[in-house]
Amino acid sequence: MDFTRDGAGFRALRAVIGASSSDMACVLRVQERAITRWDNGTNTIPAGVWSESLAIADAAGERVRRAVSDALAHAGAAGVRVVMPAAAGDRIIAARVASALDCAGVPVIVGSEPGEPDGEPGAYVVRV
């Protein structure tokens, strides 16, 4: 997918990644107000930030595809438990995996570690 280097393109890229403005700010190591300014077109998106954002989108898509494929291959009747990690970039991936599995009709349980049960006995556990 091609994105334009403007506010609309940046918002579309974030939507595809599934990143909130705060998550994207964390991943890009910038202040959240910079994300808001880029979203609104108030400020120009720096070339390095744009390149990094596109790379994040590509890498995120590949990680989601691998995790969903793996989960679909191993999911049984008990479904899949997607563990929600602490890191913002990984939370984005985990949320997209859970959403894709849900759309595929797989029972999905989302939770965070540590110490939570893995949901249904026999549920396949996905950690990104």
> Distance between CA atoms of 28 and 12, rounded to whole angstroms?
16
Number of domains in the chain: 2
Q: Find the mean pLDDT for residues 93-121.
A: 74
Tokens found for residue 128 = 């990104």
Residues 110 and 89 in one domain: yes
Q: Which residues contact 69 (CB under 8 A, 6 or more apart)?
A: none
Residue 121 has pLDDT above 70, yes or no: no
Is 24 among the domain residues? yes
CATH number of 44's domain: 1.10.260
pTM here is 0.66
Residues 78 and 35 in one domain: no
Identify the domain containing residue 74 by its residue range.
Answer: 63-127
42-100 tens-digit pLDDT: 999 999 999 999 988 888 888 888 988 988 888 877 788 888 877 777 877 888 888 88
Residue 16 and residue 89 in contact, taking contact as beta carbons nearer than 8 Å: no
Residues 28 and 44 in one domain: yes
Is 1 among the domain residues? no
